[in-house]
């Protein structure tokens, strides 16, 4: 029996609630936010959002919800502030988890087939278990993902699309982190402020998108068996491409 199999039922339910919540959150995004997010991610060209794949929309929206702020608040902060105490308890659980979500580079260490993967948060050097049925079936040890992680009811899951960086050796991961630290001198990656986290997320996601990472995204809907997050070839792309400049 899988160690974390008992999390699946709750995970699938929260994912379904989350799909509906994300739709409502997206409807609250004000005019100008997608363009601002697209500019930061390098996909706004001559004033027009240029998306190579449909999956880039999910990446853009996740970034806009979390990292494009107005008067210090993002879309989740504003939505939660207006939520009634009598709102759906599962929705409130998810909103609280989304508010505490953190962006990072995650290195897959081992799979628990049919459930998820054991991974390491490279920014904070912390282990975590990520529930992701598709990833559990396809991810190779050493795969590094750029993702935002939340933990509703203590269940680790991504907030949206996770972009693959590549299958990297420990030495390559160290070099990648070194380049990011050079790009953002003086930042404590284990304790980023919201503004700092947004800047780091933009740089990492921009590089992933520039390298074609969105081509490797796939999904499994809650409660269904299907395609999952796909691992790119072992030689895709070289870590020397990191990080993207402005």
Tell me: the pLDDT tens digits for 123-181?
A: 999 999 999 998 898 888 999 999 999 999 999 999 987 888 988 999 999 999 999 99
**pLDDT in the model for residue 17:** 95
> Looking at residue 240, what is its pLDDT?
45
Pairwise pLDDT comparison (160 vs 82), residue with the higher score: 82
User: Binning pLDDT at 50, 70 and 90, where does residue 227 land?
Assistant: very low
Span 213-221, average pLDDT: 52
Quote the pTM value. 0.86
Q: What is the mean pLDDT of residues 203-226?
A: 63
For residue 40, pLDDT over 70 is answered with yes
At 28 the pLDDT is 94
Q: What average pLDDT score do residues 89-105 get?
A: 96
Q: pLDDT value at position 32?
A: 92
The b-or-e profile of 118-152 (16+ CB within 10 A means b, else e) is bbbbbbeeeebbbbbbbbbbbbeebbbbbbbbbbb
Give the pLDDT confidence of 51-69 residue by residue, as tens digits.
Answer: 777 778 889 999 999 999 9
The residue ranking higher by pLDDT, 40 or 242, is: 40
The pLDDT value given to residue 102 = 97
Q: What is the pLDDT of residue 10?
A: 96
Are the C-beta atoms of residues 42 and 209 closer than 8 Å to each other?
Answer: yes
Look up tokens 């996909």; give the residue. 43
**Position 217 pLDDT exceeds 60:** no
């Amino acid at each position: 029996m899988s160690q974390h199999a008992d999390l699946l039922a709750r995970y699938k339910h929260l994912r379904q609630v989350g799909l509906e919540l994300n739709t409502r959150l997206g409807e609250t995004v004000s005019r100008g936010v997608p363009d601002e997010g697209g500019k930061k991610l390098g996909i706004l060209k001559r004033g027009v959002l240029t998306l190579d794949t449909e999956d880039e929309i999910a990446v853009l929206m996740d970034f806009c919800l979390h990292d494009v702020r107005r008067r210090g608040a993002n879309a989740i902060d504003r939505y939660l502030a207006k939520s009634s105490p009598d709102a759906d308890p599962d929705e409130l659980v998810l909103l609280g988890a989304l508010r505490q979500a953190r962006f990072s580079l995650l290195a897959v260490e081992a799979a628990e087939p049919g459930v998820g993967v054991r991974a390491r948060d490279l920014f904070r050097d912390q282990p975590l278990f990520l529930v992701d049925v598709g990833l559990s079936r396809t991810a190779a040890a050493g795969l590094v993902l750029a993702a935002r992680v939340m933990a509703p009811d203590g269940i680790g899951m991504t907030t949206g699309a996770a972009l693959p960086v590549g299958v990297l050796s420990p030495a390559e991961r160290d070099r990648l982190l070194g380049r990011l630290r050079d790009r953002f001198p003086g930042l404590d990656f284990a304790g980023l402020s919201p503004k700092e986290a947004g800047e780091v997320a933009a740089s990492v996601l921009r590089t992933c998108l520039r390298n074609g990472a969105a081509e490797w995204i796939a999904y499994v809907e809650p409660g269904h068996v299907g395609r999952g997050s796909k691992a790119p070839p072992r030689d895709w792309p070289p870590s020397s491409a990191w990080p993207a400049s402005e």
